[in-house]
Amino acid sequence: MTTRVWSYLHEYEQEKDDILSAVEQVFSSGQLVLGESVRGFEAEFAAYHGLPHCAGVDNGTNALKLGLQALGVGPGDEVITVSNTAAPTVVAIAGTGATPVFVDVREEDFLIDPGQVEAAVTPRTKALLPVHLYGQCVDMAPLRAVAERHGLAILEDCAQAHGARQHGKLAGTMGDAAAFSFYPTKVLGAYGDGGAVVTASADTDEAMRQLRYYGMAKVYYVVRSPGHNARLDEVQAEILRRKLRRLDAYIAARNAVARRYEEGLGDLTGPGGLLLPATNPGNTHVYYVYVVRHPLRDKIIEALKRHDIALNISYPWPVHTMSGFRHLGHREGDLPTTERLAREIFSLPMYPSLSRATQDRTIEALREVLAAL
């Protein structure tokens, strides 16, 4: 299976010299694995978050999986998360041997409903895995209260929320540890795969470093507990280092695209019709995906095909209904809001270098289709 990711090509045109010089720097450094660039990126990504620790890994899924393991999650444990997420969130939980437990999301922001979390806690619950989906943070204060009451760890899934803030705090600084993906389309994207776990805890960071390196304590090259080979690639780290300096500019550009959608479509919104993404009070949004909602979604998508507009659905199938998770015993209707959203949401083109012309074409086409419904 191949996945075409073309949105980076515009950016590559603009940043080519910098990206190629990053590759050249690593190739001529004599250190192709866990060298200066991984160390540098880890230090700078930790500093961006005002945290002391960051461990680079090979992708976001392993950031989540090793992050959970570093927090002590393993077979027999339960981890509470959402079904309205990218499947890798749940694949990572399953990869630790723990059982994913799903909580429904809120109508207004598509994020975990903190009010439903406590009812899902059992004696086996070990951790909460909130997903800052689409680019804004989950309401963290009530989750932290539940975690404290029940002695649970919190791992934030920040794969879609680089640089997002809640009451001034960055995504990734509000739990015990946070997992990031640097898949090329993400708000901070590599030119291939990459991931990282940031944390304030020296113990969690040490556990991460062992887990990504076969389970070895590096000083003695002795396996403490069999781990993985899940290192962040040196070339990707150097590219990420350079792109990190532009992260805030990417976020500003994504926000400008979002404002233009609001200007171009705002007058068409209303209950039972088109809904544009809302930003919760106290949050800043980084718009990883620009998710809109309409009860006649499938009809709209069909009509837009004639206009050659690239639309996505993030995500068309809730994870709890996927055949790979059938053993969890869920039935349709278990998570009504998640299931309804999967039928009604779609996303408009969103990336920092999206041209005005493409965006105008999208807005015009959507206006035309909605008027003809």
Ligand X SMILES: *Cc1c(COP(=O)(O)O)cnc(C)c1O
What residues line the site for ligand X (CB under 6 A)? 59-61, 85-86, 88-89, 131, 157, 159-160, 181, 183, 193, 195
Distance between CA 264 and CA 360 in Å, rounded?
8
Closer residue to ligand X (CB): 216 or 291: 291
Q: Judge residue 253's burial from the number of C-beta atoms within 10 Å of its C-beta, 0-12 exposed, 13-18 middle, 19 or more buried.
A: middle
Specify whether the CB–CB gap between 197 and 178 falls below 8 A.
Answer: yes
Closer residue to ligand X (CB): 82 or 300: 82
Closer residue to ligand X (CB): 88 or 352: 88
Least Å distance, CB 157 to ligand X, is 5
Distance between CA 140 and CA 114 in Å, rounded?
8
Closer residue to ligand X (CB): 8 or 307: 8
Closer residue to ligand X (CB): 111 or 159: 159
Distance between CA 332 and CA 319 in Å, rounded?
11
Least Å distance, CB 287 to ligand X, is 13
Beta bridge partners of 169: 166
Q: Concatenated DSSP letters for 14-81? A: HHHHHHHHHHHHHHTTT--BS-HHHHHHHHHHHHHTT-SEEEEES-HHHHHHHHHHHTT--TT-EEEE
> What are the two backbone dihedrals, phi and then psi, of residue 222, each rounded to the nearest 5 degrees?
-115, 130
Distance between CA 87 and CA 97 in Å, rounded?
16
Specify whether the CB–CB gap between 292 and 277 falls below 8 A.
Answer: yes
Closer residue to ligand X (CB): 182 or 363: 182
Least Å distance, CB 220 to ligand X, is 31
Least Å distance, CB 182 to ligand X, is 7
Distance between CA 373 and CA 296 in Å, rounded?
9
Least Å distance, CB 160 to ligand X, is 5
Least Å distance, CB 172 to ligand X, is 13
- Closest residue to ligand X in the complex (CB): 60
Burial code (b: 16+ CB inside 10 Å, e: under 16) for 45-58 equals bbebbebebbbbbb
Tokens of 351: 């990336």
Least Å distance, CB 315 to ligand X, is 9
The one-letter amino acid at 187: V
Closer residue to ligand X (CB): 63 or 366: 63
Least Å distance, CB 288 to ligand X, is 7
Closer residue to ligand X (CB): 85 or 199: 85
Closer residue to ligand X (CB): 65 or 274: 65
Specify whether the CB–CB gap between 189 and 163 falls below 8 A.
Answer: no
Least Å distance, CB 44 to ligand X, is 19
Tokens of 162: 């680089």
What do you get for the CA distance between the two ends of the chain, in Å?
A: 36
